[in-house]
Amino acid sequence: MYKEFKIAFNYKNQKDEDKNIILKIYNLLLEQYGPQGWWPVKGKYFPDEKNRDEENRYEIIVGAILTQNTAWKNVEKALSNLREEGLIDPDRIMKIDTNKLAELIRSSGYYNQKALRLKEVTENLLFYIKTGKIPKREELLIIRGIGPETADSILLYAFHYPIFVVDAYTRRLLIRIGLCKFPCSYDDAQNLFMSNLPRDEKLFNEYHALIVKHGKDLCKKNPLCSKCILKKKSICPK
């Protein structure tokens, strides 16, 4: 099942694969939820094929900023407003009045901050957005508005660079399973995945998306453990 998501694995036999708990969790989540199809770019407004990659890339970066500590549903509304105004375009974002921009992205929360940061990020990444050249992680981290999760999201989803994205769901999951002890720093969590998995962009993409799905549906603050496949397979002790 889902063979196309497993091609990166290089194990000679099932036994070796079973010893890798990180990989086991991935396969179980994939089995339970199916492929998630991230990043969910909605735009179909490309004037010509040449700009398609650039616009996709930029929409993902904008989404990564807007979704910080905010439900994706609220971000979609904001993105659709930007689309209607033809603002999934770095040059045009730089020109629009910040207050006007803030109003368009209101539904995504923290809209004054995010309008400001959207412009700063866009300005600083203009070259990378346009060329598709991959920025360095450290270079992203010094931009105001980009922390570790957003940096890695941009690298993975906008630039297809194989780095594992960690979020609140990921840490909560690792702590509950007992693979990482509280508070489970960003780097600790990231290392756990990256040292136990082949460095494969498609795998990291799907795995993070599956963890988010799992965190939303079952492994919530108040978890629904009775329905959880990780509990059933005795991977999670809760």
Partner DNA sequence: ATCCAGGCGTTAT
Partner DNA sequence: ATAACGCATGGA
Radius of gyration of the chain (CA): 19
Binding of residue 118 to DNA (CB under 7 A): no
Give 47 or 183: the residue with its C-beta nearer to DNA. Answer: 183
- One of 14, 47, 127, 183 touching DNA (CB under 7 A): 183
What SS3 class is residue 20?
A: coil
Gap between the Cα atoms of 68 and 93, Å rounded: 19
Contact flag: residue 146 with DNA (CB under 7 A):
yes
- Maximal C-alpha separation, the chain: 59
Q: Which is nearer to DNA, 21 or 35 (CB)?
A: 35
d(CA 171, CA 208): 12
- For residue 47, report the phi and psi dihedrals to the nearest 5 degrees: -65, -35
Decide: is 58 part of the binding site for DNA (CB under 7 A). no
CB of 195 to DNA, least distance (A): 20
Q: 36: helix, coil or strand?
A: coil
Kindly state whether residue 81 participates in binding DNA, applying the rule CB under 7 A.
no
Measure Cα distances from 213 to 36, 76, 183, 217 in Å: 8, 17, 22, 6
- Residue 161 engages DNA in binding (rule: CB under 7 A): no
Single out the segment in contact with DNA by CB under 7 A; choices: 9-17, 164-172, 192-200, 223-231. 164-172
Of 91 and 112, which has the nearer Cβ to DNA? 112
Give the Cα separation of 6 and 27 in Å (integer).
9
User: Applying CB under 7 A, which residues contact DNA?
Assistant: 38-40, 63-64, 67-74, 77, 106-107, 109-114, 143-151, 153, 157, 167-169, 183, 185, 212, 215-216, 220-221
